[in-house]
Structure 1
């Protein structure tokens, strides 16, 4: 929405540096994995390994065992939240953020209403709850169980309804670095309990969510946060908070909100190379992604329905990468200087060493430049 009142203008590089600072990507933070997951409001986690790579890019001295330990102790969980995608959250955030986005999950079910004719959704939720709380189940098992109760319903629609109506978590060993396991599901409350006394259905306040989003992704517009959360009608919350917020505009006149004391580094602050995994929230959590992705590179992080891992150089999307054992291949979108190439190689070698599954630096690790496709 275009601003009607003149506000200080933040150009694209200024927005880039501010967002990188919030995302812990200008300098690796001396922060625990649990604190980072909380600060970032979760990590996009359709696949198992991306959350680990996201933390490597952001935290000093991070080792995969730290996040794996949080998963095994149930202090972190994998659950559907924002944008109807799997995220890794702290248990506390899962208990509050999932209810916040529940209206969007309820709307999602309506898209499958033709396949749910005659199905009482409340009864479905309770039936599925009892089934998965008896022991963790696969989605195929959940679907088959629901079909015994509603044999005329569409199987996929039943699966969607169960996933949307219930806060289902993927139980370990799924999501644990270096281990594998089929996706098995139970309810969030069954998995983590209620040690903080918070009710599973108690959502974080919208105002609290706005402030936390700005702390991790700001400066941002109302539409940006709606894109991140998969929610609509957040303008009222921003207006309610306006007296507490700093207000800017981008080069197109779009109004941006921010926390007054949040870091907004100079546009010329150096931004080191960073290797990000597929589905990193940095690239997915704004309606206008020009602060990280130049317009001419829009769509370059995908091939068909496959998302690629991405390389940031000087804070912006500059290429793709793929790791294969002890080798990492980098595909650059345009030529770089000799110094930048050296920095990319050093960062890539550090990634290979830190993420070695045997917890030891990988012998003969190497970074090469070429195509990751074909």
Structure 2
């Protein structure tokens, strides 16, 4: 079995993540290539696409949302994702076991919960009009007064196929977004049969080479090894002796291929989609990125690896990008970061009068 160095694994992953060079593709095509983008907050996928698409403009994704080509909905790992409409319809049934299993975290709060009855009631409510989850919980509480209102809302979020209802707010969704039935919004029915093998190949095309445990981490689906064994995949060995699987036509560029600096948003799936994440971030830097309250901070990469954090703000017309490096930054790297960072600021704050990139420490 061919040995893949850590650098080779890194470059293969970056290539399919469109982070070796920006891709000349539409926003919808890019979201499809990535099999969705975690969208904990609406801005994050916009930033992720800006770093991956040549000439990406905010309005392009706005149009795709308005035209219902992409949706924001609960999907992989039971978290909010921006996915293409086609992938939502295709794979929502595939990930339903993950969403159903999510009810276990309710514990005592789920006392008295009868999911089938709650689902039926929630569907009836949401068929009338889009609602926020506060409105859903309040309405369900009237029908199920003995059940915890948070349990009612969580059951609805996990078990009822819903998409977020967009508005004309910047980044397409308001902070307290409403939800609407997915099939009504998209005018199509969900694919009724689970397609886990197809999902494996799509995952590998976006995040490979990878292990079954990596796929499980990304999707939330368990017992994936038999799926990998049933597929015709290339196999490699990494430096830790693990068997890596890949689609036969997956890009595996020369390990010496240059990787430019890139800025990743909070919760970027590149940092969430492998059981072992050394291909993108060193173990010693993880505590600074993955917080105790389950947030994943905005990061930037240097030579293909996470090298620091970034934040952006605008005050009195001045847009500032603040870099917090994890170690010493070479002068030529800082120049590249300033150039790329200024371009990011112009994307985030197009109305600012002045742009500046500063470094902590």
Normalising by structure 2, we get a TM-score of 0.94
CA shift at 1:45, angstroms?
0.5
From 204, 229, 233, the equivalent of 1:239 is 229
| 8 Å contact kept, 1:278–1:310 | yes
Q: Distance in 2 between matches of 1:179 and 1:122?
A: 29
State the 1:181 CA deviation. Answer: 5.1
1:178 Cα deviation (Å)?
7.0
Cα displacement string for residues 139-183 of structure 1 (whole angstroms, at most 9, x for unaligned residues): 111111111221111111111111111012110118752774521
Q: Secondary structure of the equivalent of 2:340?
A: helix
Aligned partner of 1:311 in structure 2 is: 300
* Match status 1:219 vs 2:209: yes
Segment drifting more, 126-135 vs 295-304: 295-304
**Mapping for residues 1-374 of structure 1, pairs under 5 Å:** 7-112=1-106, 114-173=108-167, 176-177=170-171, 180=174, 182-194=176-188, 199-203=189-193, 205-241=195-231, 244-305=232-293, 306-325=295-314, 326-358=319-351, 362-370=352-360
Cα-Cα RMSD: 1.7
For the 8 Å contact 2:299–2:310, the answer to whether it is kept is yes
Q: Is the 8 A contact 1:222 1:234 kept in 2?
A: yes
Q: Secondary structure at the match of 2:306?
A: strand
How far apart, CA to CA, are the structure 1 residues paired with 2:187 and 2:262?
37
Q: Deviations over 1:34-64 (max 9, x none)?
A: 0000110011100111000000000000011
- Distance in 2 separating the partners of 1:130 and 1:201: 21
Residue 122 of structure 1: CA displacement?
Answer: 1.5
- Evaluate the alpha carbon distance shift between residue 350 and residue 94 of structure 1 in structure 2; reply closer, same or farther with a 3 A threshold: same
TM-score under structure 1 length normalisation: 0.91
- Kept in 2, the 8 Å contact 1:10–1:250? The answer is yes
1:95 Cα deviation (Å)?
1.3
- Cα distance change of structure 1 residues 118 and 354 upon mapping to structure 2, 3 Å threshold: closer
- For residues 114 and 172 of structure 2, the distance between their equivalents in structure 1, rounded to whole angstroms, comes to 41
After superposition, the C-alpha distances for 1:193-232 in whole angstroms (9 at most, x for unaligned) are 11xxxx3252551111111111000000000000000110
* Partner SS for 1:260: coil
Alpha-carbon distance, 1:118 to partner: 4.1
> What are the ranges of 5 or more consecutive residues in structure 1 without an aligned counterpart?
1-6
1:49–1:175: 8 Å Cα contact kept in structure 2? no
CA distance in 2, matches of 1:357, 1:132: 37
Distance 2:196 2:230 in 1: 11
Contact 1:45 1:51 in 2 (8 A): yes
Q: Distance in 2 between matches of 1:217 and 1:274?
A: 17
Question: What is the SS of the residue equivalent to 1:298?
Answer: helix
Shift of 1:239: 0.4
SS in 1 for 2:287: coil
Shift of residue 15, structure 1, vs aligned partner? 0.7
Hey, what's the Cα distance between the residues in 1 that align with 2:57 and 2:277? 30
**Partners in 1 of 2:289 and 2:300 — Cα distance?**
10
Query: Is this contact kept in 2: 1:43–1:87, CA < 8 A?
Result: yes
CA distance in 2, matches of 1:104, 1:119: 18
> Do 1:48 and 1:174's aligned partners in 2 also have CA atoms closer than 8 Å?
no
Aligned-residue offset at 1:117: 4.0
